[in-house]
Structure 1
Amino acid sequence: MGGTSVQDINTLLAVAIICLLIGTAIGYFIIGRMRPEQQNRAALEKQFNDMQRQQQDYQQQVSHHFDRTGELLNELAESYRSVHNHIVEGAQNLHSTGISPLQAIPEGRPVLDNKPSSLSPAAPPLDYAPRQPGKKGALHEEFGMDSEKKKSDHIEPPVTPHA
C-alpha cells in the first residue's frame, strides 16, 4: 500500500501545481481586466493625439483658406483696376475736350498685403473729456464760465427806441 500512497501524493502535488498555474494565469488575466485606469489612460492618450492632429489639420485648412482668399481679393482688385483704367482711357480718348474727371489708378501696388502693418493700433475713443493741466475739465461746473463773465462785465444799458 505504500506505493500507491506516494503515487497518490505525487499525483495530488502535480494536480495542485497545475491548478496553481492555471489559477495564477486566470487571476493575472482578471486583474488585467479589472485595471480600467490603464486602459482608460491609453484610450485618452489616443483620443488626445487624434484631437491634436485634427486641430493642426483644421489650423492648416484655415490658414490655407485665408491665404487663398487674399489671393482672390488681390485678383479681384486687379480686375477692378483694369476695368477702371480702361474706362478712364476711353473717357480721355472719347471725351470731346480730352479731359476726363476720372483718374487712373496706379498699378503694381497690391491691395492686400500679407505682411503685418507697421502702424500702431488706433487708440480706443475716450469716454470722458480729458483735462489739460492747470485748467478746469469739461465736466467741472464752472467750465467755460470765464468767457461768459468777461462778456457780462461789459454789459451796455438797453437803448430805448425813439418814437
Structure 2
Amino acid sequence: MQDITTLIAVAIICLLSGAAIGYFVLGRLKPEQQNRAALEKQFSEMQQQQQDYQQHVSSHFDRTGELLNELAESYRSVHNHIVEGAQNLHSSGISPLQALPEGRPVLESKSNKVVPSAPPLDYAPRQPGKKGALHEEFGMDSEKKPKEHIEPPVAPHL
C-alpha cells in the first residue's frame, strides 16, 4: 500500500510540475501574443499622435484666419484714413478714392457657389445651311467634276 500511495504522490507531483513547466514554456514559445500586444500599443500611440496633429493643424488654420481678418481690418483702417485725408486735402474736395465698408470679415465660412462651365466640344460646330465636320462630304467641293474616261493599261504581248 505504501508503495502505491508513494507512486500516486510522485505521479501527482510530476503532473503538476510538468503542467507548470509547460505553461511557462508555451508562454515563451508564443511570441505572437507579445507581438500583437506591442503592435496594438504602437497603433494606439500612432492614433493619438494623428489626433494631436489634426488638432494642431486645425488650431493653426483657425489662428491664421483670425490674423488675416485683423490684417484686413488694419488695411481697411489705413485705406479709409487715406480716403478721408484725400477728401479733406484735395483742392476740389472730391477724391477718386472711396471708403471701404466697415465690419465685413474677409474670411467668411460661407462657400461661394461656383457655376460649372460648359464642357468643351469635341467636334467642330455646324454652321447653319452647311454640313458638319463629321459628315462624310465635309470639305468636298459642291460641284462634282465629270471624270474623263481612262483606259486601263494593257499588258504587252510577248
Q: State the TM-score, normalized to the length of structure 2.
A: 0.69
Structure 1 residue 124, shift from structure 2 partner: 9.1
Name the counterpart of 1:92.
Answer: 87
Name the counterpart of 2:149.
Answer: none
Q: Which runs of 5+ in 1 are unaligned?
A: 1-5, 143-163
In structure 2, do the counterparts of structure 1 residues 14 and 72 end up closer, same or farther at CA, with 3 Å as the change threshold?
same
Read off the aligned partner of 2:56 and give its amino acid letter.
Q
Matches within 5 A, 1:12-91: 12-91=7-86
In structure 2, do the counterparts of structure 1 residues 47 and 109 end up closer, same or farther at CA, with 3 Å as the change threshold?
same
| Counterpart selection for 1:110 from 101, 105, 108 | 105
* Counterpart-to-counterpart distance in 1, 2:44 and 2:115: 38
* Counterpart-to-counterpart distance in 1, 2:4 and 2:107: 93
SS in 2 for 1:37: helix
Which of the two has greater helix per residue? 1
* Counterpart-to-counterpart distance in 2, 1:7 and 1:93: 125
Q: Which runs of 5+ in 2 are unaligned?
A: 140-158
* Counterpart-to-counterpart distance in 1, 2:99 and 2:30: 77
Deviant stretches of 4+, over 4 Å? 121-130, 132-137
In structure 2, do the counterparts of structure 1 residues 14 and 50 end up closer, same or farther at CA, with 3 Å as the change threshold?
same
- RMSD in angstroms over aligned alpha carbons? 2.8
Structure 1 residue 44, shift from structure 2 partner: 2.0
- Give CA deviations for 1:113-135 in whole Å, capped at 9, x if unaligned: 12322x12654984967635866
